[in-house]
Structure 1
Amino acid sequence: MTDSTSTTLTTAPQLRDGVPAFSAQVRRTGFVVLGKQELAGLIGDADLEDLRGAWENLPVDTQVDGVGVYRERRYGRLRVDVDGDTVTFEVLPNAVFRQDAIPLWKGKDRVFEPASEDVLLSAGMRALVSFDARMATAVNGNTSWTVGVHLVRVVARAGADGLPTPEGRHRDGHTCVGLHLMRREGVTGGLSTVHPNDGSGIVQTTLLQPLDSMFFDDNMITHEVSPTVSEGASGVRDMLQVDFNPVA
């Protein structure tokens, strides 16, 4: 692990070749769903397990009081620059998080406990964010991004479902968003529904395996996720959410 607040990563050849096709689908339909097998080679097993460990140290998300969901969360910020196959990362200071595009959060400054620099610049995180950044650049054309990194755990308990999207059907209010499943244990449900703006019909999928992912152009779709239901005393659904906005 580097002591620096910035680092670079060069994209693996097999994923470099996949980005044009995946991003072309996003430009056509607004989104792409990627199974674990389609991201083979992106991240090694040891790096993935190391990254997944960060979800075992999440504080309670106190910002969701009153909406009937128990959630744990950390948040971090990066500046990410894409130059061909090279992606550069710089850790930014923590800041309040705003989502004025969503009525539930409009006008609210939400403050989350920060993700550590070690997590933000870990090999697994850089691999996933690098892939998402190259997708965002291929979709939008921008090469310099302010990136929000959200480590989110939704807990379902007997008699108390987890709510991955208490906002209901919504847009996130960003340019592009990458979603990566990290863990799904002891729950059913969690059906993702995508509503394309062009009226081509809803698409539904359930992310089941670690690395099952979705990437979307936030201006072209709305989306929502159904509640998760515990199969026993409790269960969890862990997600890495990565949002992209052009550097101001």
Structure 2
Amino acid sequence: MDIVKKPRERHASVIANLLNQNRYVFVSGKQMTSMLATNVDEVVRFKSCWHNLERDQYMADGGTYRYRRYGQFNKGKHSQQLVMLPHQAYVQPAAVNPLNGDVKRHFEPLTDRFIMSPILEKLLLMMSDVYDGAQGQATNWNIRLHPYRIITDGHSVGKPTPEGLHRDGVTYIASLMINRTNITGGETVITDDNKNVLERLTLDKSFDIVMSDDLATMHEVSPITPVCLDKCAYRDVLVIAFTKMEE
């Protein structure tokens, strides 16, 4: 008997197949907006959360161009519920992050406005469907969320990936474009393990997203500079890391 898949599951299956074939997949903001069944009011409220980030005090390069918050959820394989974890320090090994690794970084937690956004829940559940499909089975996931704002002005460039070409030491990594305001640059490069370029693309529209198999690829984003020096210039993204949890 044929089973008709729900629209979210059907789209997730297609994206999962592309992710497995190419080790990364780009989905346009237009398609994402349709898949998330969102509306203008929800989008405006979600995007406004990026105006309430705090400056990253842990930049080993001395940079003052990055603003962020941080939080974690777990998603069980037999559940459609996202469970927020107690707030804690964020640590990456130096082997993964040579710039800021092996340091307990105490970032400000995610705001209630961000956590309660209908978009966030729909986004994370959709992504778990994609990654379940890529794994070939329902999976227990740890999800780490990093909303970033990278600023630039006439005195300094902004560096979305100050650590350079890297991986994040997770199972899947994704970048969701939120706002791109008065900037040039910000090109995403995805490579294989041997640093051979697989793709160059620029996340341009709100909700443009690139999802990558972090175990099979590396990535970096080129610096940004302002187009008009007398206006604010920044790049807002949500970086979403899914890590497969042990049974």
TM-score by length of 2: 0.88
Higher mean C-alpha displacement, 50-59 vs 97-106? 97-106
Q: Comparing both structures, which one devotes a greater share of its residues to strand? A: 1
Residue 75 of structure 1 aligns with an amino acid whose one-letter code is: Y
Q: Following the alignment from structure 1 to structure 2, what is the Cα–Cα distance between the partners of residues 87 and 198?
A: 37
Q: Shift in Å at residue 122 of structure 1?
A: 1.7
Residue 67 and residue 22 in structure 1: after superposition, are their counterparts in 2 closer, same or farther (change >3 A)?
farther
| 2:80 alignment partner in structure 1 | 87
| 2:13 alignment partner in structure 1 | 20
Q: Following the alignment from structure 1 to structure 2, what is the Cα–Cα distance between the partners of residues 167 and 199?
A: 15
Q: Is the aligned partner of 1:103 residue 2:98?
A: yes
| 2:167 alignment partner in structure 1 | 171
Q: Shift in Å at residue 197 of structure 1?
A: 3.4
| 2:202 alignment partner in structure 1 | 206
Aligned residues: 235
Aligned pairs for 1:59-98 within 5 A: 59-83=54-78, 87-98=80-91
Identity %: 24
Unaligned runs of 5+ in 2: none
Q: Shift in Å at residue 137 of structure 1?
A: 1.6
Q: Shift in Å at residue 142 of structure 1?
A: 5.1
Q: 1:33 aligns with which of 26, 33, 39?
A: 26
Residue 148 of structure 2 aligns with an amino acid whose one-letter code is: V
Assess if the C-alpha contact under 8 Å between 2:61 and 2:99 holds in 1. no
Q: Following the alignment from structure 1 to structure 2, what is the Cα–Cα distance between the partners of residues 195 and 126?
A: 30
Q: Following the alignment from structure 2 to structure 1, what is the Cα–Cα distance between the partners of residues 152 and 180?
A: 11
Assess if the C-alpha contact under 8 Å between 1:48 and 1:124 holds in 2. yes
Q: 1:244 aligns with which of 232, 239, 242?
A: 242
Q: Following the alignment from structure 2 to structure 1, what is the Cα–Cα distance between the partners of residues 241 and 207?
A: 17
Across the aligned residues of Structure 1 and Structure 2, the Cα RMSD in angstroms comes to: 2.0
Q: What secondary structure does 1:19 align onto? A: helix
Q: Shift in Å at residue 146 of structure 1?
A: 1.4
| 1:180 alignment partner in structure 2 | 176
Assess if the C-alpha contact under 8 Å between 2:172 and 2:214 holds in 1. yes
Superposed CA deviations along residues 105-131 of structure 1, whole A, max 9, x for unmatched, are 331111110002442232011121112
Q: Shift in Å at residue 178 of structure 1?
A: 2.1
Residue 71 and residue 65 in structure 1: after superposition, are their counterparts in 2 closer, same or farther (change >3 A)?
same
Aligned pairs for 1:43-58 within 5 A: 43-58=38-53
Residue 147 and residue 223 in structure 1: after superposition, are their counterparts in 2 closer, same or farther (change >3 A)?
same
Assess if the C-alpha contact under 8 Å between 1:192 and 1:225 holds in 2. yes
TM-score by length of 1: 0.88
